[in-house]
Amino acid sequence: MAKVLIRKEKKEFVKDINKEITIERARKYLVKDVSKDYQSQDGVVSKKDLKKKSGAKVLTNTKKEFTLLDADFMDLYRNMKRGAQIISLKDIGTIIAYTGINKNSKVVDAGAGSGALACFLAHICKEVTSYEIRDDHYKIAKENKEKLELNNLKIKNKDVFRGIDEKDVDLVTLDLPDPWNALKVVDKALKLGGYLVSYSPTVPQMADFVDIARKDNFIHIKSLELIKRNWEVEGRKVRPVTTQNVHTGFLSFFRKIS
Ligand code: SAH
């Protein structure tokens, strides 16, 4: 099992109110192979120490103390290999919240890309199948699925427009440049009342998709963009992080009604 080494890094500094404030930053390493010593920028942790129980305090050879933890899903997820641009966690969270999918849900996703969305959905759903047309992206998504040990996730190296094998699906998620071309096959795969969610980075893609999908057997529930701002919280320096990516994409939600 992979482990995490984590410690609070302290940095002292003087603020404008003549008060000394301690800033703490998390320093974290993911140790994927615990069968050998781990070399970090903070020194070496012996393989003997890496075998200790979660919560153990371990020292590097430069005498820095780390807490050893068992790596959890998010530790491994954040470390996943990237090929295509992945969908962000805020957007994944919104898809889950607005569709209410859970441990009983059957989901189809396309394109797999790096498999980020597919892996997260498989983490909470009963079964997920993701279609990917490109060989290189298929390989990356498959590798990520295997590292996360998601046995309920199937990645298929297929063009989704040519057909979806799964039936009676609770949710279909599309992250494609031309999602409208998938509507016919999505319609066949989705169960009545099932959800269709499309993620598009640009306005014309969203507009065209909503326009075409609502003429079909789908009812448009809503389209939205989620703006997330990260904040610095250091003493009295409490403000939004000055440079950050604000726009990711637009989400459009539909339900199949006939
Ligand atoms: N949601 C993914 C990223 C998808 S990027 C993630 O979170 O990791 C879009 C992917 O769709 C690309 O990998 C592209 O190759 C794939 N794609 C494009 N057209 C496709 C099609 N017709 N069938 C299957 N995959 C397709």
Neighbour order of strands in the sheet with 20-31? 20-31, 3-14, 65-70, 57-59
Question: Alpha-carbon distance 223 to 249, whole Å?
Answer: 11
Burial 189-204 (b: 16+ CB within 10 A, else e): bbeeebbbbbbbeeee
**Do the domains 76-256 and 3-71 match in fold?**
no
Cα(119) to centroid(ligand 1), Å:
14
68's enclosing H/E stretch is strand 65-70
**Cis ω for the linkage preceding 111 (within 30 of 0):** yes
Mean per-residue pLDDT of the chain: 95
62 phi/psi in degrees, rounded to 5:
-100, 15
89 lines ligand 1 (CB under 6 A): no
Q: How far is residue 153's CA from residue 160's CA, in Å, rounded to a whole number?
A: 16
53-107, pLDDT tens digit by residue? 999 999 999 999 999 999 999 999 999 999 989 999 999 999 999 999 999 999 9
Domain boundaries in the chain? 3-71, 76-256
Residue 217: is its pLDDT beyond 80? yes
Is 139 a pocket residue for ligand 1 (Cβ < 6 Å)?
no
CB distance 116 to ligand 1 below 6 Å: yes
% pLDDT > 70, the chain: 95
Q: What is the assigned CATH class of domain 3-71?
A: alpha beta
Neighbours of 37 (CB within 10 A): 15
Question: For residue 36, what is the DSSP state?
Answer: S
Distance 164 CA to ligand 1 centre (A): 14
- Residue 164 in contact with ligand 1 by CB distance below 6 A: no
Q: Which atom of ligand 1 is nearest to the CA of 82?
A: 8
- Measured in Å, residue 112 CA sits from the centre of ligand 1 at 5
pLDDT surpasses 80 at 201: yes
What pLDDT was estimated at residue 19?
65
Rounded to whole angstroms, how far apart are CA atoms 149 and 163?
27
Ligand 1 binding pocket includes 131 (Cβ within 6 Å): yes
- CATH code of 76-256, in short, is 3.40.50.150
Q: In this model, does residue 16 exceed pLDDT 60?
A: no
For residue 161, the ligand 1 atom closest to its alpha carbon is 22
**pLDDT confidence of 240, banded at 50, 70, 90?**
very high
- pLDDT interval class at 23 (50, 70, 90): confident
Quote the ligand 1 centre to 192 CA distance (angstroms). Answer: 25
**Atom 4 of ligand 1: nearest residue by CA position:** 113
Query: pTM of the full predicted structure?
Result: 0.94
The arithmetic mean of pLDDT across residues 193-209, rounded, is: 98
- Residue 182 in this model has a pLDDT that exceeds 80: yes
Distance from CA of residue 91 to its chain's centroid? 9
Q: Quick check: 204 and 214 in contact, CB under 8 A?
A: no
Measured from the Cα of 114, ligand 1's closest atom is: 8
Q: Is the distance from CB of 197 to CB of 256 less than 8 angstroms?
A: no
How many other CB atoms sit within 10 Å of the CB of residue 148?
Answer: 19
pLDDT attached to residue 236 = 83
Is the CB of residue 187 below 6 angstroms from any atom belonging to ligand 1? Answer: no
